[in-house]
């Protein structure tokens, strides 16, 4: 395909990836761009404040400070093709602010957008005709194993054993059986299904919620999304495995924590904004629930050193590690290259995304 442009962020333009693009599409124009902090000095000042001020003081700073510090600007290393005859492919990086996403869409007008991340909620407004793929499902197996590792760690009190070891204290701690415990999976997509399989194999009673009900193997009790409160009252481990949408923003808040068992544990390996963090903190501090394992927070990574969550003894922070392995980044790119071959050959793409999760879809213009 001679009329092809591949737009990628500088961070991903290493020799391996560039060689792969050339192998698949030798005549393609490669357009590089980069992201910068719009207010770099302000960003650096905020990072210093996060290090030296306790959360009880920092929380009084205006929210506008965080908003300004996260503002991005787009830097074009190569100028976009800007030709109606060119088909542009955009490799969409994670953690892109809305204004930058819209600028990428406006300047490139891509025929196909591939999100490196699993979620697509940060994608710009796009025409209905634009193809959208993502890394959804790519990390399902490793994330499911990670979740089960967390459940075993909580059931067997491993965090507390580690704390006692550091204090050189010899103390026997009781543990709970995994077999027979109830796991409630919020969102039975690819990741949720993998978690259900392993949970069932470990002898757990598997509950789950799903938008569209169907017969699902490995699940003992499948409920519609509206029945989430009923599930929360019954299960011992609540695992969040849903995309971030308008409907799932702050899905777990005060009402949900109030009806969970006092012995329940919350595990979030999807998006931080699915949980209302103020009520999460209160639930843990007041021991309304037993514990929480949180892989990602609302503002994603990194969690500032002055965060109040670091002081909680019943919280395990795993720093966006559920998906990560020695070869996970290469696998993400390999999926893109596989789809690039298909795009060049006019074959159906793999891992097509549900575009209803994108904030807005533009109507096609004739």
The per-residue pLDDT for 55 is: 83
Q: Is 246 exposed, middle or buried (0-12, 13-18, 19+ CB in 10 A)?
A: exposed
Q: What is the DSSP string of 221-270?
A: EEEEGGGHHHHHHH-SEEEE-----TTTTT-BSHHHHHHS-TT-EEEE-S
Whole-number Cα distances in Å, 287 to 73, 263, 279, 302, 307? 42, 9, 12, 25, 19
The per-residue pLDDT for 364 is: 33
The per-residue pLDDT for 305 is: 84
Give residues with Cβ within 8 angstroms of 345, minimum separation 6. none
Residues 289, 146, single domain; the answer is yes
Q: Determine the structural domain holding residue 204 and report its residue range.
A: 140-317
The per-residue pLDDT for 301 is: 66
The per-residue pLDDT for 61 is: 79
**Residues comprising the chain, all counted:** 366
Residues 132, 147, single domain; the answer is no
- Alpha-helical regions (H) of 70-139: 98-108
DSSP 320: S
The per-residue pLDDT for 213 is: 83
The per-residue pLDDT for 63 is: 75
Chain position carrying tokens 């204090």: 167
CB 195 within 8 A of CB 239: yes
Whole-number Cα distances in Å, 164 to 158, 160, 161, 170, 310? 10, 6, 5, 7, 18
CB 145 within 8 A of CB 127: no
CB 24 within 8 A of CB 8: no
Residues 145, 122, single domain; the answer is no
Residues 256, 340, single domain; the answer is no
Residues 238, 294, single domain; the answer is yes
Number of domains making up the chain: 2
Residues 229, 337, single domain; the answer is no
- β-strand partners of 239: 185, 267
Residues 150, 114, single domain; the answer is no
The per-residue pLDDT for 56 is: 83
Residues 296, 258, single domain; the answer is yes
pTM: 0.86
Residues 15, 124, single domain; the answer is yes
The C-alpha atoms of residue 256 and residue 250 are separated, in whole angstroms, by 10
Give residues with Cβ within 8 angstroms of 114, minimum separation 6. 89, 90, 91, 92, 132, 133, 134, 336, 339
The C-alpha atoms of residue 171 and residue 191 are separated, in whole angstroms, by 37
The per-residue pLDDT for 1 is: 63
Residues 162, 294, single domain; the answer is yes
Residues 330, 284, single domain; the answer is no
Residues 104, 153, single domain; the answer is no
- β-strand partners of 87: 4
Work out whether the CA dihedral 244, 247, 249, 252 comes out positive or negative. Answer: negative
Whole-number Cα distances in Å, 47 to 21, 32, 93, 112, 176? 37, 28, 23, 36, 41
The C-alpha atoms of residue 32 and residue 11 are separated, in whole angstroms, by 9
**Per-block mean pLDDT, blocks of 10 residues, the chain (366 long):** 89 94 93 94 89 84 81 93 88 91 93 91 87 91 96 94 93 94 95 96 96 86 95 98 90 97 96 94 96 90 85 93 89 95 94 76 36
The per-residue pLDDT for 49 is: 87
* Domain CATH number, residue 80: 3.40.50.720
The per-residue pLDDT for 158 is: 93
């Amino acid at each position: 395909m001679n009329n092809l442009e591949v737009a990628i962020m500088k961070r991903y333009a290493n020799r391996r990836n560039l060689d792969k693009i050339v192998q698949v599409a030798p005549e393609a124009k490669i357009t590089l761009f980069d992201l910068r902090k719009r207010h770099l000095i302000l960003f650096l000042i905020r990072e210093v404040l996060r290090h030296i001020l306790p959360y009880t003081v920092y929380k009084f700073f205006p929210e506008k400070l965080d908003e300004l510090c996260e503002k991005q600007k787009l830097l074009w290393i190569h100028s976009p093709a800007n030709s109606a005859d060119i088909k542009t492919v955009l490799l969409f990086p994670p953690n892109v602010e809305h204004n930058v996403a819209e600028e990428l869409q406006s300047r490139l007008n891509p025929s196909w957008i591939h999100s490196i991340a699993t979620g697509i909620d940060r994608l710009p407004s796009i025409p209905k005709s634009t193809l959208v793929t993502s890394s959804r499902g790519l990390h399902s197996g490793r994330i499911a194993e990670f979740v089960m590792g967390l459940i075993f760690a909580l059931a067997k009190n491993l965090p507390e054993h580690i704390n006692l070891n550091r204090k050189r204290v010899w103390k026997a701690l009781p543990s709970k059986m995994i077999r027979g415990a109830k796991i409630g999976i919020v969102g039975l997509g690819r990741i949720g299904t993998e978690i259900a399989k392993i949970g069932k194999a470990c002898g757990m009673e598997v509950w789950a919620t799903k938008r569209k009900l169907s017969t699902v193997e490995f699940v003992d009790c499948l409920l519609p999304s509206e029945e989430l409160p009923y599930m929360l009252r019954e299960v011992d481990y609540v695992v969040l495995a849903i995309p971030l949408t308008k409907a799932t923003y702050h899905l777990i808040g005060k009402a949900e924590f109030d009806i969970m068992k006092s012995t329940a544990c919350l595990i979030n390996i999807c998006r931080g904004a699915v949980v209302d963090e103020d009520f999460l903190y209160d639930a843990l501090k007041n021991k309304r629930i037993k514990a929480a394992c949180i892989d990602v927070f609302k503002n994603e990574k990194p969690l500032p050193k002055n965060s109040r969550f670091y002081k909680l003894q019943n919280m395990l922070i795993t720093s966006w590690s559920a998906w990560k392995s020695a070869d996970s980044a290469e696998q993400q790119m390999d999926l893109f290259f596989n789809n690039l071959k298909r795009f060049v050959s006019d074959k159906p793409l793999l891992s097509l995304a549900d575009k209803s999760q994108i904030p807005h879809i533009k109507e096609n213009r004739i």
